[in-house]
Structure 1
């Protein structure tokens, strides 16, 4: 059985594929077998990747198509536009690991690219392994930056298998944004996906091998069964990692939690430690990369790039500068981001509200005097936070508290470890509000049960608090009345709803319910939506769609959402008003909320952020001071949020009345992240690179239309039809018909109502018009067009001769351009490089064609025409080509030989440089670990004595850290041998191939005219 070669067209299982990789299968297979990686070119499964063991396939269904060689001179001439389109299609779909200045990704998405968003993808191309921490400000477009990197690496053939790990509430958003903005299909792994997969393919089906691009929520991934499925998906091939790219969203959630004496690995940290070794490249995304604990920050960096970082007390600043990208909105020059206006809505407490606050403060003070522990403080904190939120939230919490008070048994001995675990679990970040409420309720009950019994004074206070709360939780408090007044002022005009929109954020689902009941009274149908953590994905997407739809077409005006639902939501299109119904004690939550409308893509020049302040309430006024302070400290948000939250808790419980920022964590961040974040960034160089890429890749309006129009006509249907739209001029067109085999493209050419979209062919022309669709290189229409031309390279059913001519004015002699595809295959059976090689020269009547480099610029810059030439001239041209065929082949061979030498030298230098870099990095990490272990062993025992002061949990984590250092040292020593060898092998050339592409004859206009005459 003959084996296929990379770049060939084959038929397998009655489908047509391009061969991407040919490699030896697992060594335990006998006899020796070949694993062939295939990419489908059939239109109904275009781009689908399949791996097969070639020798195990049915001989009757296998066929290797012959490659086209020199064009048959007796075939009819193609129109030059068609041959040009063929060459463009190959140019736009040729991967290469060589790198270089050209960027493909900006032309592969329906996005409005800002210059600063090009920095991450440009930085990625400088790294041998793409390990980046993208830590841009909320709303700057980290998803777009990640998508650009994904498309760039895909275009260069550096990645295929991608896994996105994100919070559960963001999985659908990632899927839709990758589809809508970059035309990349991702599957979401969840319980339903696993059940459906096994129902269709059997109980042994593994979701991690079901599709090359997958998304999974980090908390679903933590489950033991799911982790085991991931481990089973690794084929154990030591030559290559089983996955190409990991994208970790909200990466700070995976960092170990900070403590005074140590950092504690979380379940998420442990998950990342288990999976990251399987990935060649990694992107970590977060707006708050550093929580003020260096050990925690370096642990996150070690997960990102274990060759550049070890977890420990110091950050390697030089390495950090290579992998971290961190910009705030105010640091980026020449960008018209919306101005953020923050305002307080002042409330005068009525007597009832004021009395309730005073009673609760008295009760908290009394309780802490009798049971002043961290856990008791937690229970009192919950009461205070809920009172500051809404009457209903407080009423339900006081009911929990009363129930737990009745369960107090002073004979019970408090299990401090258990209580700590329960209370810590209750303050975790939850994606489900029901789960959040359940954990909080359980924590309050368990903590209350081990309190001392209430004395008479406390009983009286609690009884009065409960009475007032029971009487008022269904009534409008002063804050609710002020909210209604605000809505009337901003969302109503002339007695009716206007087109403004408002988001109201609250920390509690109970408060959301309270607000919905109040606002229902002004709702005349479909004006108010709610969104909470735990809302099913379908409903969540419906709410987002309605709120992001033009107010002229959707009745929705107000969205009430909880914090658990807010993470990652993009709601900026038609909303500029946001209200915090209560001030979060953790400022990071407030910043996350603000980022829902204060982000890239906000159309309004100003966004209005409001919160409530009680004029006669000391606690409320204190929170106002917090807001003012936070405005000046945004660059340290990861650390100050935790500092401020602890300060607020002390103040609210009466333990302090001042705000203390004398925490060294801000200084630690400034030390660890030394890059001058206040510097103003300019990106003129990136724009120049972008324009150079556009020019070198020949990406322009005429060429994109040329490829699509000719692909449609080859397939037997009409091409692009003009659109009469003054606003769009000549940049767009309509496609009313596509080939039957292109049926999956149809949905991308119509709007939701089935109307034809006006297709914009001008590259990077982003329009806010719902009746248009942007054509880019990753759009299905262009992908299908490129695929149609790639099929023309093989003998079966070809609609092209790949032979054409152009009539050129001012040309003295007949000239020929001959082009070929050149492929370089690596030692591991993967495609390293593909390009179009062209030679230009003047043919002799008896041969003698020689490549003339200066002729290339002359011919490519001349205008041409195409009209039918006489039969006599056509015959002479055919004879001329045939006579020079041998020389043309020789010249192409010579140019390929020259390119081979240059590519081989380039790859060898790249391999040597990358191997040296990796070897140096590994040795640095080994020396770091040895020094830390030696320091620990050689010192006078202070560390051992210090260990006796730790809690058992801290001591256990310390022992695990030491064990981890031993493991890391052994692993790095192994990698010191393997990694340089693998890099060298990766860039070694195994084979090269060339396929003849096309012949273009340039005919002097004078000669063509004489022949016609």
Structure 2
């Protein structure tokens, strides 16, 4: 059985594939086993990746098609547009690890790219391994920046298998954004996906090997069964890592949690420690990269790039600057971001509400005097936060509290460690409000059970609080009345709803229900939606779609959402008003809420953020001071949020009346994180690179139309038809018919109502029109067109002769352009490089064709025409090609030989440079760890001096970190030997292949005219 070669077309299991990789199947298999990686070119499964053991396939269904050869001079001439489209198809789909300045990704998405968003992809291409921490401000478009990097690495052949790990509430958003903006299909691994996969393929089916691009929620990934399935997906017997790229969204959630003196690994941290070694490249995304603990920040950086960082008390600032990108909105010049207007809505408590606040403050003070522990403070804090939220939220919490008070048993001995664990669990970030409420309720009950019994004063206070709350929780409080007034002013005009929209955020699902009941009274049908954490994905997407639909077409005007549901919501298209129904004690939550409308893509020049302040309530006025203070601290938000939250808690519980910012974590974060000052530049270099790429890749309106129009016609249907719209007709077209084998493209050519979209062929022309669609290089229509031309390279079903001519004015002699595909295969059986190589020259009557480099620029820049030439001239042209065939092949061979030498030198230099870089990094980490271990053993160094201050929990984490350093030291010593060898092998050339592509004859117009005459 003969083996296929990279770049060939093969038939396997009655489907047609291009061969991407050919390699030994693994050390534990027979040497006769060959793993072949295939990419489907059949239109119904275009782009589907499949790996097979070639020798184990049914021999009767295997077929290797013959490669393209020198065109038959007796075949009919193709139209030159068709041959040009063929060469463009190869140019636009040729991967290469050589690098270079050209960027493909800006032309591979339906996105309006801002110049600053090119910085991460440009930075990524400078790194031997793409390990980046993208820590841009909320709303700057980190998802777009990640998508650009993904498409760039895919286009260069550097990645295939991708895993996105995100909070559960963001998995569908990632899937839809990758599909809508970049036309990349991802599957979401969850319980249903696993069950369906095993139902179809058997109990041994592994979801991590089911598709090359996957998404999974970080908390589902933490389950033992899921972690085991991931481990089983990587046999670990290959020189290449099993996974190419990891994208970790909201990466700060995986950093160790800060404690009083030290940091502790969370379950998420441990998960990332287990999976990151399986990935070649990693992108970490977060708007708050630093929590104020250097140990936590360096642990996150170590997960990102263990060759550049060790977790520890210091940040290597030189290495940090290479991998971290951090820009705030105010640092990016010449960008018309919306102005954020933050205004407090002042209200006054009525007598009943004011009395309830006074009673609760008295009750909290009394309780803390008799049972003052950190955990009891938690229970009192929950009561205060819920009272500041809504009457219903407070009522339900006071009912919990009364029940727990009845369970008090003073003989119970408080297990402080258990209580700490329970209360810590209750303040974690949740994506499910029901789970949040359950854990909070359980924590309050457990903490209350070990309190001292109420004295008579406390009983009286609690009884009165409960009575007032029971009487008022179903009534409109002053805040609700003010909200209704606000809505009437902003969302009503002329006695009816206008086209403005409003988002109301609250911390509690109970408050969301309270608001929905109140606002239902002004709802005339379909105006108000709610969204809470735990809402099923289908409903969540439905709500998002309705709220993002033009108000002229959707009745929705108000969205009430909880914090648990807010993460990752992008709602900026038709909404500029946002209200915080209560002020979060953690300012980072407020910033996350604001980022839902104050973000890239907001059309309004100003967004309006409002919150409520009680003029006659000290607690409320104090929260206004917090808001004013944190406006000046946005760059440090990740570090100071928990500091502020703890300060607020002390004030609200009567333990303090001042705000203390003397925590040294602001100084730590300024030291550890350097903002990307380069973001203040105009990014002119990136724009120049962008334009150079467009020119070198020949990406323009005429060429995009050319490849689509000709692919359709080759397939036997009409090409692009004109649009009637005067403003669009030069850049747009309609496609009314596609081949039967292109049926999956149809849905991308119509809107949701089945109307034909006007297809924009002008590259990077982004129009705010729902009746248009951008035709970029990753769009299914372009992919199918490229695939159609790639099939023409093989003789089994070709509709092309790959032979054409162009009639050119001002040309003295007949000239020929001959082109070939050139592929370079690496030692590991992977494709290193593919390109089109062309030679230009004047043919002699008896041969003697020689490549003339100066002729290339002359011919490529000349205008041409194509009309039928005489039979006599056509015969002469055919004879001329045949006579020069040997010389043409020789000249292409010579140019390929020259190109091979240059590529070999380039790869050798790249291998040497990358190997030296990696070797240097590993040695730096080894020396760093040795010094830390020596300092500790010699009882010197900061860690040893701090050890007596640690709690038992912190000391246990410290001991685990010391073991980790020992493990890392041994691992790095092994990698010092293996890594440089693997890098060198990765860039070694195993084989090269060339396939003849096309012949274009340039005929002087004078000669063509004489022949016709």
Q: Does the 8 A contact of 2:820 with 2:836 survive in 1? A: yes
- Residue 262 of structure 1: CA displacement? 1.2
Structure 1 stretch displaced more, 231-240 or 993-1002 = 231-240
- Residue 958 of structure 1: CA displacement? 1.0
- Residue 801 of structure 1: CA displacement? 0.2
Report the CA distance shift for 1:319/1:401 in structure 2 as closer, same or farther (over 3 A). same
- Residue 682 of structure 1: CA displacement? 2.0
Q: Deviations over 1:193-241 (max 9, x none)?
A: 0000000000000000000000000000000000000000002224010
Q: Distance in 2 between matches of 1:716 and 1:929?
A: 66
Q: Distance in 2 between matches of 1:320 and 1:681?
A: 20
Q: Deviations over 1:334-370 (max 9, x none)?
A: 0000000000000011000100000000000001111
Q: Distance in 1 between matches of 2:955 and 2:332?
A: 45
Q: Distance in 1 between matches of 2:949 and 2:269?
A: 25
Q: Does the 8 A contact of 1:169 with 1:567 survive in 2? A: yes
* TM-score w.r.t. length of structure 1: 0.99
Q: Does the 8 A contact of 2:175 with 2:187 survive in 1? A: yes
- Residue 943 of structure 1: CA displacement? 6.2
- Residue 32 of structure 1: CA displacement? 2.7
- Residue 1004 of structure 1: CA displacement? 0.1
- Aligned partner of residue 631 in structure 1, secondary structure: helix
Q: Distance in 2 between matches of 1:639 and 1:784?
A: 49
Q: Does the 8 A contact of 1:343 with 1:610 survive in 2? A: yes
Report the CA distance shift for 1:993/1:389 in structure 2 as closer, same or farther (over 3 A). same
- Residue 487 of structure 1: CA displacement? 0.1
Q: Deviations over 1:280-319 (max 9, x none)?
A: 0000000000010000000000000000000000000000
- Aligned partner of residue 608 in structure 1, secondary structure: strand
Report the CA distance shift for 1:852/1:31 in structure 2 as closer, same or farther (over 3 A). closer
Q: Does the 8 A contact of 2:433 with 2:508 survive in 1? A: yes
Structure 1 stretch displaced more, 315-324 or 30-39 = 30-39
Report the CA distance shift for 1:949/1:689 in structure 2 as closer, same or farther (over 3 A). closer
Q: Deviations over 1:431-475 (max 9, x none)?
A: 000000000000000000000011111011000000000000000
- Residue 768 of structure 1: CA displacement? 1.1
Q: Distance in 2 between matches of 1:838 and 1:940?
A: 66
Runs of at least 5 residues in structure 1 that lack an aligned partner in the other structure: none
Q: Does the 8 A contact of 2:327 with 2:676 survive in 1? A: no
- Residue 673 of structure 1: CA displacement? 1.4
Q: Distance in 2 between matches of 1:1012 and 1:500?
A: 68
Q: Distance in 1 between matches of 2:616 and 2:515?
A: 23
- Residue 941 of structure 1: CA displacement? 10
Q: Distance in 1 between matches of 2:478 and 2:116?
A: 45
- Residue 679 of structure 1: CA displacement? 6.5
Report the CA distance shift for 1:493/1:944 in structure 2 as closer, same or farther (over 3 A). closer
Q: Deviations over 1:160-182 (max 9, x none)?
A: 00000000000000000000000
Q: Does the 8 A contact of 2:147 with 2:182 survive in 1? A: yes
Q: Distance in 2 between matches of 1:973 and 1:369?
A: 57
Structure 1 stretch displaced more, 766-775 or 267-276 = 766-775
- Aligned partner of residue 680 in structure 2, secondary structure: coil
- Residue 29 of structure 1: CA displacement? 1.1
- Residue 68 of structure 1: CA displacement? 1.4
- Residue 677 of structure 1: CA displacement? 5.0
Q: Deviations over 1:363-416 (max 9, x none)?
A: 000011111110000000000000000000000000000000000000010011
- Residue 942 of structure 1: CA displacement? 9.3
Matches within 5 A, 1:545-560: 545-560=545-560
Report the CA distance shift for 1:723/1:471 in structure 2 as closer, same or farther (over 3 A). same
Q: Does the 8 A contact of 1:175 with 1:185 survive in 2? A: yes
Q: Distance in 1 between matches of 2:319 and 2:394?
A: 49
Q: Distance in 1 between matches of 2:685 and 2:417?
A: 56
Structure 1 stretch displaced more, 724-733 or 546-555 = 724-733
Q: Does the 8 A contact of 2:24 with 2:31 survive in 1? A: no
Q: Does the 8 A contact of 1:812 with 1:1004 survive in 2? A: yes
- Residue 952 of structure 1: CA displacement? 2.0
- Residue 746 of structure 1: CA displacement? 0.6
Q: Does the 8 A contact of 2:715 with 2:739 survive in 1? A: yes
Q: Does the 8 A contact of 1:321 with 1:675 survive in 2? A: no
- Aligned partner of residue 678 in structure 1, secondary structure: helix
Report the CA distance shift for 1:62/1:683 in structure 2 as closer, same or farther (over 3 A). same
Partner of 1:675: 675
Q: Deviations over 1:894-939 (max 9, x none)?
A: 0000000000000000000000000000000000000000000012
Partner of 1:220: 220
Report the CA distance shift for 1:746/1:941 in structure 2 as closer, same or farther (over 3 A). closer
Q: Deviations over 1:751-800 (max 9, x none)?
A: 11111111110000111111111100000000000000000000101000
Aligned residues: 1013
Structure 1 stretch displaced more, 665-674 or 268-277 = 665-674
Q: Does the 8 A contact of 2:33 with 2:53 survive in 1? A: yes
Q: Does the 8 A contact of 1:777 with 1:783 survive in 2? A: yes
Q: Does the 8 A contact of 2:825 with 2:990 survive in 1? A: yes
Report the CA distance shift for 1:292/1:943 in structure 2 as closer, same or farther (over 3 A). closer
- Residue 676 of structure 1: CA displacement? 5.7
Q: Distance in 2 between matches of 1:490 and 1:499?
A: 10
Q: Deviations over 1:540-577 (max 9, x none)?
A: 00000000000000000000000000000000000000
Q: Distance in 2 between matches of 1:90 and 1:848?
A: 29
Partner of 1:650: 650
- Residue 678 of structure 1: CA displacement? 9.4
- Aligned partner of residue 995 in structure 2, secondary structure: strand
- Residue 726 of structure 1: CA displacement? 1.5
- Residue 956 of structure 1: CA displacement? 1.1
Q: Distance in 2 between matches of 1:690 and 1:942?
A: 48
Q: Does the 8 A contact of 1:331 with 1:681 survive in 2? A: no
Report the CA distance shift for 1:475/1:144 in structure 2 as closer, same or farther (over 3 A). same
Q: Does the 8 A contact of 1:806 with 1:864 survive in 2? A: yes
- Aligned partner of residue 29 in structure 1, secondary structure: coil
Partner of 2:354: 354
Q: Does the 8 A contact of 1:10 with 1:64 survive in 2? A: yes
Partner of 1:449: 449
- Residue 279 of structure 1: CA displacement? 0.2
Q: Does the 8 A contact of 2:504 with 2:561 survive in 1? A: yes
Q: Distance in 2 between matches of 1:478 and 1:905?
A: 76
Partner of 1:253: 253
Q: Distance in 1 between matches of 2:947 and 2:333?
A: 50
Partner of 1:751: 751
Runs of at least 5 residues in structure 2 that lack an aligned partner in the other structure: none
Q: Distance in 2 between matches of 1:680 and 1:732?
A: 36
- Aligned partner of residue 140 in structure 2, secondary structure: coil
Q: Distance in 1 between matches of 2:327 and 2:654?
A: 38
Q: Deviations over 1:792-813 (max 9, x none)?
A: 0001010000000000000000
- What's the RMSD between the two structures over aligned residues? 1.0
Q: Distance in 1 between matches of 2:676 and 2:778?
A: 36
Report the CA distance shift for 1:887/1:679 in structure 2 as closer, same or farther (over 3 A). closer
- Residue 260 of structure 1: CA displacement? 2.3
Q: Deviations over 1:581-636 (max 9, x none)?
A: 00000000000000000000000000000000000100000000000011110000
Q: Distance in 2 between matches of 1:503 and 1:232?
A: 45
Partner of 1:49: 49
- Residue 697 of structure 1: CA displacement? 0.3
Q: Distance in 1 between matches of 2:500 and 2:31?
A: 70
Q: Distance in 2 between matches of 1:65 and 1:125?
A: 36
Q: Does the 8 A contact of 1:805 with 1:1000 survive in 2? A: yes
Q: Does the 8 A contact of 2:572 with 2:602 survive in 1? A: yes
- Aligned partner of residue 738 in structure 2, secondary structure: coil
Q: Deviations over 1:497-536 (max 9, x none)?
A: 0000000000000000000000000000000000000000
Partner of 2:337: 337
Q: Distance in 2 between matches of 1:949 and 1:1001?
A: 83
Report the CA distance shift for 1:940/1:867 in structure 2 as closer, same or farther (over 3 A). closer
- Aligned partner of residue 786 in structure 1, secondary structure: helix
Q: Distance in 2 between matches of 1:516 and 1:28?
A: 62
Q: Does the 8 A contact of 2:32 with 2:55 survive in 1? A: no
Report the CA distance shift for 1:632/1:204 in structure 2 as closer, same or farther (over 3 A). same
Q: Does the 8 A contact of 1:162 with 1:246 survive in 2? A: yes
Report the CA distance shift for 1:639/1:941 in structure 2 as closer, same or farther (over 3 A). closer
Q: Does the 8 A contact of 1:328 with 1:677 survive in 2? A: no
Report the CA distance shift for 1:942/1:873 in structure 2 as closer, same or farther (over 3 A). closer
Q: Distance in 2 between matches of 1:28 and 1:639?
A: 49
Report the CA distance shift for 1:943/1:483 in structure 2 as closer, same or farther (over 3 A). closer
Q: Distance in 2 between matches of 1:368 and 1:91?
A: 73
